[in-house]
């Protein structure tokens, strides 16, 4: 019976163009867009910067060369100071550095950094930091004791170092896989609702089959589709977008299985709420999007305020993404490192199944 | 008479409301038994209990000797259900639908193929077996709905309003199929609120109203019962502009000669022994008669006689 039920639901899913779009095609589009937005190839495009210095000013030329040498900036030499300012205003460059011939910060004659005060921190931070350091060195000379590293960045205990180049796709692939992966819950819940609406559920209940077997037979196809969905999205991520799996593939598989189990169980809980297909489709979609947003599927939790980072752990998406980030980005991450995520996801799954069981009268009503 | 279906004090409550009170009924093996009643009479709840979909609140039901609660699987295996809804998968072909429904009853391999071919033949869909069901007419879908309930060759076939929304050709096909199945020994429980269908098809009928069986027997027995063998149904169409008060007075006057019901400006009285007395009573109430029709009592008249309201009122 189970095999026939799985075949039936898989056939129904495959022939449902809307479901195929939302489960497979849409996430691929989102991955391509989000991955590109967040730095697709892992190498950030240099920020365009204009520099003006007085003709023949050797210090000004050295400053321009030093900025060029960082690799962070595409430095353009401006013919006049005003032209440099106009270029910023016109958006041709993100900032302009104007180096006066009589540069002397101690005497109140600093260089001028022209930048839109409303520019994003991702632009302002590097530009201001680099300009400050390079101009200070040119004007004031090297620091006492020479160029030594005063501060060295190290990972905290128990946290592995990340890959040297983390591309946007290392975040976009798992983010969208989790976001759209949880939409299997909606497909699953809608399938229950459709069976009830059409009367086929009454026909199933009238068959000589245990109720729990009917429920399992409804859930297993969505478990399978969820696993295929993750395999496909990660596969395309690796093949088309250069996604790297820095950690253990076994840990990745464990996370995928736990996530899909959790999503399918959520489908059971949603189905037990009843309601029409329209209600479930509308409210369910909104809930899943909010859960994805809070859990960091669209914007990484790491850049959220501290409170929101904690709120993100109230939804399974947050735990899943924590685990996926470690496996994809931190070399050497194994099963032992991702067990908190796996356990949390299975805990959520248990809670969802329990909720569905408590409301099983509604679920099993003809 | 060997009863294939036995109901003893079978009832179902939803909260404080008794959807079905306490039914006692036997359906003999090989007969077509009709459950007639208006919408909301409790027919669907009754067959849902028989099919094992809804748990009874009291009493019990046995199919082929198997209690639907304590021997649920055996009872369900002996029962085929054709729900009122088109309980089939539109996106699948008839063959794929029957593959799935057959598997639910443990059919597989050559047995499933053989039953599938038979059920598709019975439904007249053998040449359309691999086309998407969503392209079918309502009548064809009804026939597939029937085939899905027949596939495992149940001893009891329960049909819940199987002709709702079908064209005359498909209705005839369904009727012919039911008669052929009975000829093969299958027992059929047929629910409908169409009096004509039940009268044309069923050997015996139970009339349900308000969750109770108000009368049951063969159709001749029912017609000869409260309605009276020679009783007539009189339909009187009132003339002129008549107010509700005047119609109410005419109805009350007519009610002295039988169960009287009103449908707009038409009064329906049954059973009527003397047409002249009814005419005199109505005209005596100060209302003119525009037209008068009489016909022999039918199940509709029997229903009216037992419940005081028309089948169509449901």
CATH code, domain carrying A112: 3.40.190
Lowest-pLDDT range, A252-261, A346-355, B296-305?
Answer: B296-305
pLDDT in tens, A105-161: 888 899 999 999 888 887 888 899 999 999 988 888 877 777 777 788 787 777 788
Label residues B61-94 b or e (16+ Cβ within 10 Å = b).
bbbbebebeebeebbbbbbbbbbbbbbbbbbbbb
Contact criterion met (CB below 8 Å) for A252 and A338: no
Whether residue A12 is found in the same domain as residue A89: no
Sign (positive/negative) of CA torsion A8, A10, A13, A14? Answer: negative
d(CA A271, CA A189) in angstroms, rounded, equals: 4
Place of tokens 């960091």: A296
User: Per this entry, what is the length of chain B?
Assistant: 314
Structure tokens at A41: 């190839």
d(CA A22, CA B96) in angstroms, rounded, equals: 25
* DSSP code, position B88: S
**Residue A134 to residues A70, A84, A138, A345, B134: CA-CA distances in angstroms?**
10, 19, 6, 48, 72
Phi, psi dihedral angles at A295 (to 5 degrees): -75, -5
d(CA B172, CA B151) in angstroms, rounded, equals: 20
Lowest-pLDDT range, A10-14, A165-169, A180-184?
Answer: A165-169
Structural domain includes residue A148: no
Q: What is the ipTM of this complex?
A: 0.81
Whether residue A29 is found in the same domain as residue A62: no
Is the pLDDT at A223 greater than 90? The verdict is yes
Q: Does domain B3-223 have CATH number 3.40.50.300?
A: yes
Whether residue A230 is found in the same domain as residue A299: yes
Whether residue A128 is found in the same domain as residue A58: yes
Structure tokens at B20: 């079905």
Is the pLDDT at A25 greater than 50? The verdict is yes
Mean pLDDT of A37-56: 79
Residue B160 CB neighbours (<10 A): 25
Query: Which ranges of chain B have pLDDT less than 50?
Result: 227, 229, 314
Task: Please check whether residue B61 touches A, CB under 8 A.
Answer: no
List the single residue in A5, A7, A208 with the smallest CB-CB distance to B105.
A208
B83 contacts in chain A (CB < 8 Å): 199, 202-203
Mean pLDDT of A320-335: 94
Higher pLDDT, A18 or B231: A18
Predicted pLDDT of residue B314? 47
Structural domain includes residue A231: yes
List A350's β-bridge partners, or say none.
none
Structural domain includes residue A249: yes
Task: Please check whether residue B37 touches A, CB under 8 A.
Answer: no
Whether residue A309 is found in the same domain as residue A276: yes
Kindly report the nearest CA distance between residue B185 and chain A, in angstroms: 21
Mean pLDDT of A81-107: 92
Structural domain includes residue A300: yes
Predicted pLDDT of residue A258? 98
Whether residue A174 is found in the same domain as residue A309: yes
- Cα-atom radius of gyration of chain A, to the nearest Å? 28
Chain A residues touching chain B at CB-CB below 8 Å: 1, 3-5, 7-8, 11-12, 15-16, 198-200, 202-209, 366
Structural domain includes residue A159: no
| Domain span including residue A94 | 47-140
User: Per this entry, what is the length of chain A?
Assistant: 366
**Residue B272 to residues A33, A54, B301: CA-CA distances in angstroms?**
81, 120, 10
Tell me how many domains chain A contains.
2
Predicted pLDDT of residue A71? 85
Domain boundaries, chain B: 3-223, 232-296
Predicted pLDDT of residue B229? 47
Which CATH number, 3.30.30, 3.30.70, 3.40.1050, 1.10.3470, labels domain B232-296? 3.30.70
d(CA A141, CA A143) in angstroms, rounded, equals: 7
Structural domain includes residue A154: no
Is the pLDDT at A40 greater than 60? The verdict is no
Contact criterion met (CB below 8 Å) for B83 and A203: yes
| Domain closes at, from A106, A140, A174 | A140
Higher pLDDT, A344 or B247: A344
Torsion angle of alpha carbons B230, B233, B239, B244, nearest 10°? 130
Whether residue A113 is found in the same domain as residue A253: no
Torsion angle of alpha carbons A293, A296, A298, A302, nearest 10°? 130
């Amino acid at each position: 019976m189970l095999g026939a039920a799985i075949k039936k639901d898989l056939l129904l899913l495959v022939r449902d163009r809307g479901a195929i779009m939302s489960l497979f095609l849409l996430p691929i589009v989102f991955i391509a867009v989000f991955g590109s937005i967040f730095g697709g190839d892992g190498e950030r495009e240099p920020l365009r910067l204009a520099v003006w210095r007085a003709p023949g000013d050797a210090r000004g030329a050295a400053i321009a060369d030093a900025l060029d040498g960082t690799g962070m900036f595409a430095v353009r030499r401006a013919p006049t100071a005003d032209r440099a300012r106009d270029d910023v205003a016109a958006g041709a460059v993100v900032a302009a550095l104007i180096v006066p011939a009589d540069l002397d910060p101690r005497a109140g004659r600093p260089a001028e950094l022209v930048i839109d005060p409303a520019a994003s921190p991702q632009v302002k931070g590097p530009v201001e930091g680099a300009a400050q350091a390079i101009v200070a060195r040119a004007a004031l000379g090297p620091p006492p004791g020479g160029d030594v590293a005063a501060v060295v960045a190290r990972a905290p205990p128990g946290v592995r170092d990340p890959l040297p180049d983390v591309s946007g796709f290392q975040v976009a692939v798992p983010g969208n896989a989790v976001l759209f992966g949880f939409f299997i819950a909606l497909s699953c819940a809608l399938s229950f609702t459709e069976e009830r609406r059409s009367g086929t559920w009454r026909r199933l209940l009238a068959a000589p089959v245990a109720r729990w077997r009917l429920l399992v037979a409804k859930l297993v196809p969505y478990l399978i589709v969820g696993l295929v969905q993750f395999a496909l999205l990660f596969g395309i991520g690796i093949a088309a977008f250069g996604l790297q799996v820095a950690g253990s593939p076994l840990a990745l598989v464990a996370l995928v299985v736990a996530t899909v189990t959790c999503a399918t169980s959520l489908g059971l809980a949603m189905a037990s709420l009843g309601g029409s297909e329209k209600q479930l489709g509308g409210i369910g979609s909104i809930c899943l999007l909010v859960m994805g947003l809070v859990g960091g599927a669209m914007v990484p939790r790491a850049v959220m305020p501290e409170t929101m980072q904690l709120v993100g752990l109230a939804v399974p998406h947050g735990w899943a993404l924590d685990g996926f980030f470690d496996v994809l980005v931190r070399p050497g991450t194994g099963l032992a490192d991702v067990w908190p995520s796996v356990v949390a996801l299975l805990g959520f799954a248990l809670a969802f199944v329990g909720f569905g069981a408590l409301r099983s009268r509604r679920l099993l009503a003809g | 008479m060997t009863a294939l279906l036995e109901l003893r004090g079978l009832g179902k409550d939803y909260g404080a409301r008794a959807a079905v009170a306490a039914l006692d009924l036997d359906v003999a093996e090989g007969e077509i038994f009709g459950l007639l009643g208006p919408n909301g009479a409790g027919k669907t709840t009754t067959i849902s209990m028989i099919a094992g979909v809804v748990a009874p609140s009291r009493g019990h039901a046995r199919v082929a000797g198997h209690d639907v609660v304590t021997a649920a699987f055996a009872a369900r295996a002996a029962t085929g259900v054709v729900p009122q809804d088109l309980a089939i998968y539109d996106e699948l072909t008839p063959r794929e639908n029957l593959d799935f429904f057959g598997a639910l009853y443990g059919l597989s391999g050559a047995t499933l193929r053989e039953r599938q071919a038979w059920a598709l033949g019975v439904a007249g869909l053998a040449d359309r077996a691999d086309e998407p069901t969503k392209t079918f007419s309502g009548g064809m879908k009804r026939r597939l709905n029937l085939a899905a309930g027949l596939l495992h060759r149940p001893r009891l076939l329960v049909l819940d309003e199987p002709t709702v929304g079908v064209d005359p050709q498909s209705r005839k096909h369904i009727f012919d199929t039911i008669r052929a199945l009975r000829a093969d020994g299958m027992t059929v429980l047929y629910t409908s609120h169409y009096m004509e269908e039940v009268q044309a098809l069923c050997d015996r009928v139970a009339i349900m109203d308000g969750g109770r069986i108000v009368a049951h027997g063969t159709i001749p027995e029912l017609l000869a019962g409260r309605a009276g063998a020679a009783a007539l149904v009189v339909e009187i169409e009132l003339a002129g502009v008549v107010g509700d008060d005047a119609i109410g007075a005419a109805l009350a006057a007519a009610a002295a000669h039988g169960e009287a019901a009103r449908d707009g400006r038409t009064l329906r009285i049954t059973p009527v022994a003397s047409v002249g007395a009814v005419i005199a009573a109505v005209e005596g109430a100060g209302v003119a008669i525009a037209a008068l029709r009489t016909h022999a009592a039918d199940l509709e008249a029997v229903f009216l006689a037992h419940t005081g309201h028309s089948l169509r009122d449901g």
